[in-house]
């Protein structure tokens, strides 16, 4: 499956762009991606959102942050208030739009984590949406340093939000985007490199010089999931990526993602995606038809 690659250029007097536009039902019919990060706020619409390997219905206001080269699109079915046109605020930027040094500052640590998770897409809800809306409205008409200050405030609100949800599974994102504690990174790297093979607990525990029991407790504490669940997410996320890339059928995606039989693959896929591989692929094909 091909993605529509978009290329955005910034005016010489701007380090990021923001626009407001009206949207129409079925406007977006192709998965698209671009090198820029994107903050999108969809208003007064209902439909289905596709980000990475994540599919979800949305209704009302939908606020998301999307990282570089993450395939995404929205399917708009209807407006909620027929007296108001559905519209969107869209910001495109690079994480280092104020220089690479900013992200190395201790005060900006939370931004680094935000940008790492953007590689899987993040949905925001609750009061974060209203706060973001107000700032984006002001940014449309601001200039100079005030415009930059509002952008930093927007990013800070997103980074500090207690109402955020990472969307795509870890297996859909590249290893290079994983930034956690060094010890957990060691485990992540090993699993990303070897998930197509059998993952043996004693071997993984030995990477951190731990007993299997101690490792299981440590990994669950740091990642809020068991090793088995994490490996399952990686394999299913990778299988979903193979399916929507369009170069592998379901059987090939099964065995190329580390599964030993179709029965377990179908079971695990439905557990994580809520759909069978066949139904998942059908939804994506309909989205870009």
pLDDT at 5 over 70: yes
The verdict on 198 and 162 lying in the same domain is: no
- What pLDDT, in 10s, does the model give residues 210-227? 999 999 998 888 777 899
pLDDT at 213: 96
Mean pLDDT within 95-100: 88
Structure tokens at 115: 């940008």
Residue 121: give the domain boundaries.
Answer: 4-168
**Residue percentage of the chain with pLDDT more than 70:** 91
The verdict on 124 and 189 lying in the same domain is: no
Give me the helix-helix angle, 227-245 and 182-194, nearest 10°. Answer: 50
Quickly list H helices, the chain: 109-117, 127-140, 144-160, 182-194, 201-207, 212-223, 227-245, 250-256, 262-273, 277-287
Q: Running DSSP on this structure, what letter comes out for residue 218?
A: H
CB atoms within 10 A of CB 109: 12
In the beta sheet, which residues pair with residue 55? 50
Helix (H) or strand (E) holding 103: none
The verdict on 87 and 212 lying in the same domain is: no
Banded model confidence at residue 178, pLDDT cuts 50, 70, 90: very low
Banded model confidence at residue 33, pLDDT cuts 50, 70, 90: confident
Banded model confidence at residue 103, pLDDT cuts 50, 70, 90: confident
How many distinct structural domains can be found in the chain?
A: 2
Taking the model in full, what pTM does it have?
0.73
The verdict on 105 and 219 lying in the same domain is: no
Q: Decide: 29 and 289 in contact? Cβ < 8 Å.
A: yes
- Pick from 23, 21, 72, 18: nearest CA to 46: 23
Q: Which of 129, 149, 168 is the last residue of a domain?
A: 168
pLDDT at 102 over 50: yes
Mean pLDDT within 22-44: 82
The verdict on 49 and 110 lying in the same domain is: yes
Banded model confidence at residue 1, pLDDT cuts 50, 70, 90: very low
Q: Decide: 38 and 79 in contact? Cβ < 8 Å.
A: no
What sign does the CA torsion over 189, 190, 194, 200 have? negative
pLDDT at 28: 52
Of 7-21, 32-46, 273-287, the range with the highest mean pLDDT is 32-46
Residue 26, CA atoms < 13 Å, CB-side half-sphere: 3
Structure tokens at 190: 């090993």
Structure tokens at 260: 């030993």
- What pLDDT, in 10s, does the model give residues 149-168? 999 999 999 999 999 999 98
Q: Decide: 256 and 248 in contact? Cβ < 8 Å.
A: yes
The verdict on 94 and 147 lying in the same domain is: yes
pLDDT at 30: 67
pLDDT at 100: 81
* Region of 8 on the Ramachandran plot (φ > 0 left; ψ -120 to 50 alpha; else beta): beta
The verdict on 147 and 178 lying in the same domain is: no
pLDDT at 261: 94
Distance CA 231, CA 55 (A): 21
Average pLDDT of every residue of the chain: 87
Q: Which of 141, 168, 195 is the last residue of a domain?
A: 168
Mean pLDDT within 223-245: 87
Distance CA 240, CA 274 (A): 12
Mean pLDDT within 51-64: 90
Q: Which of 168, 191, 226 is the last residue of a domain?
A: 168
CB atoms within 10 A of CB 7: 7
What sign does the CA torsion over 124, 122, 70, 247 have? negative
What sign does the CA torsion over 256, 257, 260, 264 have? negative
pLDDT at 174: 44
- What pLDDT, in 10s, does the model give residues 116-147? 899 899 999 999 999 999 999 999 999 999 99
pLDDT at 176 over 60: no
In this structure, what is the dihedral angle of CA atoms 172, 51, 1, 241, given to the nearest 10 degrees?
20
The verdict on 255 and 180 lying in the same domain is: yes
The verdict on 223 and 84 lying in the same domain is: no
The verdict on 74 and 186 lying in the same domain is: no
Distance CA 257, CA 253 (A): 6
The verdict on 212 and 282 lying in the same domain is: yes
> CATH number, domain at 65?
2.60.120.10
51 vs 30: which has the higher pLDDT: 51
> CATH number, domain at 216?
1.10.10.60
pLDDT at 231: 93
pLDDT at 209: 92
Q: Running DSSP on this structure, what letter comes out for residue 90?
A: E
The verdict on 93 and 196 lying in the same domain is: no
């Amino acid at each position: 499956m091909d993605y529509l690659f978009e290329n955005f250029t910034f005016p010489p007097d701007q380090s990021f762009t923001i626009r407001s536009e009206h949207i129409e039902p079925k406007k977006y019919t192709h998965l698209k991606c671009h090198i820029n990060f994107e903050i999108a706020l969809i208003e007064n619409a209902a439909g289905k959102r596709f980000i990475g390997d994540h599919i979800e219905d949305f209704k009302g206001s939908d606020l998301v942050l999307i990282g570089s080269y993450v395939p995404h699109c929205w399917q708009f079915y209807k407006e909620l208030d027929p007296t108001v046109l559905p519209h969107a605020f869209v910001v495109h930027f690079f994480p280092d739009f104020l220089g690479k040094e900013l992200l190395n500052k201790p005060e900006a640590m939370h931004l680094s984590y935000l940008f790492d998770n953007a590689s899987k897409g993040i949905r925001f809800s609750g009061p974060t949406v209203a706060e973001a809306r107000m700032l984006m409205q002001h940014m449309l008409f601001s200039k100079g340093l005030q415009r930059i200050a509002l952008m930093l405030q927007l990013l800070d609100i997103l980074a500090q939000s207690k109402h955020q949800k990472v969307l795509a599974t870890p297996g859909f994102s590249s290893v290079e985007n994983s930034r956690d504690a060094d010890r957990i990174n060691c485990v992540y790297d090993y699993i990303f490199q070897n998930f197509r093979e059998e993952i043996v607990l004693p071997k993984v525990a030995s990477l951190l010089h731990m007993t299997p029991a101690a490792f299981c407790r440590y990994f669950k504490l740091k990642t809020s999931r068991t090793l088995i669940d994490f490996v399952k997410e990686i394999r299913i996320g990778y299988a979903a990526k193979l399916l929507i890339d369009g170069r592998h059928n379901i059987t090939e995606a099964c065995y190329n993602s580390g599964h030993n039989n179709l029965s377990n693959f179908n079971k695990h896929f439905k557990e994580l995606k809520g759909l069978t591989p066949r139904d998942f692929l059908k939804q994506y094909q309909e989205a870009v038809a």
